Amino acid sequence: MSRVFITGSADGLGQMAARLLVGAGHQVVLHARNAARAEEALKAVPKAETALAGDLSSIAEAVALAEQVNTLGRFDAVIHNAAVGYQEPRRIATVDGLPHVFAVNTLAPYILTALIRKPQRLVYLSSGLHRSGDASLDDLAWDRRPWQGTAAYSDSKLHDALLAFAMARRWPAVLSNALEPGWVATKMGGAGAPDDLQAAPKTQVWLAVSDEPSATVSGGYFYHKKPRETHPAVRDVAVQERLIAACEGFSGIRLPD
């Protein structure tokens, strides 16, 4: 059995994945943005080991969350599930002055990847919208561009796929993959989303714990447990490295070798 940490698991796909993992006998540590939400998460998944709190829009809180995770010991897998959507009508600045979408969806996974003790597997949730992302990586902080919520979200999901592929290349002993769960009727996806909600959490669970040969790979991108093509830039080492350098610059945290 595996021990898995899931960010953003107070509700939505993160909570659904946690329930599947716990139901299969795995140990799961949940995460929510604050203590009250963490308590709610534990009530929703009572067989989870514990729930940690940390607001991923804050660099300091993301760092503190990584420290909490490391205090609990080593994990077999980390699922980077936490995200905010594309409904933000304006550039919402975090405590660090960064766009909320970028801070939560891009920078927080980078920080946690850099600071949490290396697991055996890393799983990053992307989106089909990543194919519309801006691979130039210009103006990641949206200081000069007119704000567009959908574009900011698409960019961030491209970043998640880039990070997954970068880690697969940089850390060959770690299985690192990305996936798109589909457009499903979660709080983020909306009630009218057309894809299969019950299938949506299964690929991240499969990548985190399955011993099937098709799951024990690295540098893959999946949809419903099947490989799927990505934005061409995802496999571009130069673009991967530009993103890592940018995240290091924003956070002040260096990715270990």
| DSSP letter, residue 118 | P
Residue 257 forms part of a structural domain: no
Residue 228 placed within a domain: yes
Q: Is residue 85 part of a domain?
A: yes
Q: Give which of 154, 133, 129 is closest to 233, Cα–Cα.
A: 133
What CATH number should be reported for the domain holding residue 29? 3.40.50.720
* Total count of domains within the chain: 1
Report CA torsion sign: 52, 49, 178, 246.
positive
pLDDT the model gives residue 189: 57
Question: Which residue numbers are catalytic?
Answer: 153, 157
This prediction's pTM:
0.95
Domain hosting residue 191, numbered range: 3-251
Residue 136 burial class via C-beta count within 10 angstroms: exposed 0-12, middle 13-18, buried 19 and up: exposed
Strand order of the sheet with strand 3-6?
50-53, 27-32, 3-6, 77-80, 121-125, 175-179, 220-223, 226-227
123 within a domain of the structure (yes/no): yes
Residue 185 is predicted with a pLDDT of: 44
**Chain position carrying tokens 């604050």:** 34
> What pLDDT tens digit does each residue of the chain (257 aa) get?
999 999 999 999 999 999 999 999 999 999 999 999 999 999 999 999 999 999 999 999 999 999 999 999 999 999 999 999 877 899 999 999 999 999 999 999 999 999 999 999 999 999 999 999 999 999 999 999 999 999 999 999 999 999 999 999 999 999 999 999 976 546 665 556 556 668 889 999 999 999 999 999 999 999 999 999 999 999 999 999 999 999 999 999 999 98
Residue 57, domain member (yes or no): yes
The single residue listed with the structure tokens 């801006």 is 134
Asked if the structure places residue 256 within a domain, the reply is no
